[in-house]
Structure formats: structure tokens, C-alpha cells
């Protein structure tokens, strides 16, 4: 178990500023063009470009969050709305629970680790770009799944899933690094979905259609693993 192995290869956050680094060029370009439009007295175009730059800047906002303390607590990996709570078969073949969170274009898109633990595997799969709230999205959309082992030995998966507009998944975590609960490890651009897969014995602490905040809202609690498991 991780408690016996220690916390080697501690993850170091790269998403620490008020905005994700992508904002510099994605939001900066429209603002620069806005200045050029103002110089040429193109008032309508300048207003549009300024609004676009402001929207892109807000999309990449990265607020600090106070991470809840407590053993075995699972925090939301993203801001958004809970759109699915179902029993499923986990990637390792065991029974589990999926909590699906839909991120609109107005939500913070920074992804956070739902639990503390070591990253055992990172897997990319899927080829479709269906709407993130589509029932087929978790199985078919382009996605990145990160398998983690919590300090008590429980296995948890957090899955970044693209949507109709989202086309790029960013994940800074690597295999064998140790993340603290709430660590900012990646993001998905422009509307998406983030799922957490938990062991079946876990307790779900959110409801459908509930608004959640990444790293702040407690969405579940892992059950203790028997010492002889």
C-alpha cells in the first residue's frame, strides 16, 4: 500500500497562476487584434474582438480552492453539473460507481485530482466527439483515463472526456507520480465532461443535477479496504 511505500515522485503543479498558460496566446491574440481595430477606428470589430478575448480569458481562469480535509474523501475533479450516477463495471472488471460531471463553456475547466494517491496508469482511448452529456460519450469519445491508488489501497479512476467543442485534453500528471487531493493536473478546452470511477462500496455524497466545484465539493467517500484484502 502507498502508506507503506512513502510519497516518492511528488507531483508538482504547473497550473498555479490566476489563468492557465493557454490564455496568453488564445486570449491575447484577439486583444492584440482589438488594438489594431481601434487604431483603424473599426469600433464594431474591436468590440467583438475584445469580447472574444475576455471570454477566452475567463474560460482559462484558475481560482484557488480550499481543499476539504478528511480521510477517504473524494472531491470533485471539475466545476460543473452532475449528470450521471450509475453502477458500472470498472476497467479492472470489478463493480463500481461512475459519477459524471458536465462542464459547460462557462465553467472553470481546470481538472483536479479527486483523491490523493499514486498514478498507476494513464490511458488514452476513443475516437468520437459526441456531446459530453450524450450517454455514449463515456464509451466512445476521445478521452484520457488516469488510474490512481489511494493511500488505503483503493483504486480510483478520473477520466477527462472531450465533447462537441472540446478537442484537446491536457494532462500534466505522469505514471508513478504522487498527487495530493485537489492538485491541478490538467484541463480540457471548451466544454467537456469529467468522470470519477469509484469502488462499489464507496458512498456517493452528491445528487443528480447538483452543481459542484473542483477541489471543493465532496462528492463521495471511499470505503476502508480490509487489511487482508
Catalytic residues, which ones? Answer: 192
Cell of 8: 516518492
DSSP state of 73: E
Angle between helices 28-39 and 43-59 (to 10 degrees): 160
User: Can you list the positions of beta strands (E) in the chain?
Assistant: 73-75, 80-89, 95-103, 110-112, 117-125, 143-149, 155-161, 169-171, 178-179, 184-188, 192-199, 203-204, 211-212, 218-221
Question: In sequence order, which ranges of the chain are alpha helices (DSSP H)?
Answer: 2-5, 23-26, 28-39, 43-59, 137-140
Amino acid at each position: 500500500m502507498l502508506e507503506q511505500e512513502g510519497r516518492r515522485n511528488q507531483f508538482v503543479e504547473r497550473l498555479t497562476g490566476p489563468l492557465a498558460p493557454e490564455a496568453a496566446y488564445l486570449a491575447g491574440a484577439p486583444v492584440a487584434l482589438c488594438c489594431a481595430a481601434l487604431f483603424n477606428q473599426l469600433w464594431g470589430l474591436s468590440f467583438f474582438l475584445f469580447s472574444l478575448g475576455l471570454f477566452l480569458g475567463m474560460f482559462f481562469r484558475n481560482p484557488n480552492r480550499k481543499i476539504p480535509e478528511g480521510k477517504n474523501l473524494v472531491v470533485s475533479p471539475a466545476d460543473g453539473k452532475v449528470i450521471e450516477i450509475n453502477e458500472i463495471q470498472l476497467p479492472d472488471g470489478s463493480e463500481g460507481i461512475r459519477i459524471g460531471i458536465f462542464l459547460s463553456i462557462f465553467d472553470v475547466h481546470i481538472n483536479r485530482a479527486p483523491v490523493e494517491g499514486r498514478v498507476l496508469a494513464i490511458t488514452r482511448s476513443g475516437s468520437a466527439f459526441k456531446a459530453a452529456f450524450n450517454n455514449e460519450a463515456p464509451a466512445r469519445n476521445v478521452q484520457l483515463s488516469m488510474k490512481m491508488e489511494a493511500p488505503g489501497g483503493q483504486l480510483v479512476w478520473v477520466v477527462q472526456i472531450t465533447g462537441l467543442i472540446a478537442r484537446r485534453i491536457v494532462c500534466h500528471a505522469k505514471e508513478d507520480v504522487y498527487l495530493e487531493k485537489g492538485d491541478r493536473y490538467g484541463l480540457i478546452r471548451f466544454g467537456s465532461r469529467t468522470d470519477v470511477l469509484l469502488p462499489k462500496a464507496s458512498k456517493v455524497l452528491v445528487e443528480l443535477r447538483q452543481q459542484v466545484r473542483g477541489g471543493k465539493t465532496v462528492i463521495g467517500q471511499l470505503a476502508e479496504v480490509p487489511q487482508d484484502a
